[in-house]
Amino acid sequence: MRILFKILLFPITLMLTVLVLFCQFVCLIGTTLLSILAFLIAVIALGILLFSGQPAEGFKYLIIAFCISPYGIPMLAAWLLSKAEAFNELLKSV
């Protein structure tokens, strides 16, 4: 009976493995690009804070820079990928 489940789940685990690997690659490239963009936005935010009379705008840009930094959206994507990987391992262990 167990071998029957393994045979039935093989296409699902194969597709899930390929999907997780592809998403990890996209996450790596996206994190790199978002890190560069977050640095540029943070520099602009510091310029606004120092040279402009609008500190609220500067703080808005700093919050945006934090959200797209590696500790914001990319960390959420990595967490979701780890959950998908754990589910894939669960299916493989059946």
| pLDDT tens, residue by residue, 2-51 | 889 889 999 999 999 999 999 999 999 999 999 999 999 999 999 999 99
Are the CB atoms for 75 and 34 separated by under 8 Å?
no
Query: From CA 89, how far away is CA 32, in angstroms rounded?
Result: 27
Domain borders along the chain are 2-92
Query: From CA 65, how far away is CA 12, in angstroms rounded?
Result: 37
pTM over 0.75: yes
Q: Is 73 helix (H, G, I), strand (E, B) or coil?
A: helix
Give the Å distances, CA to CA, from 68 to 71, 75, 80, 88, 92.
8, 9, 16, 28, 34
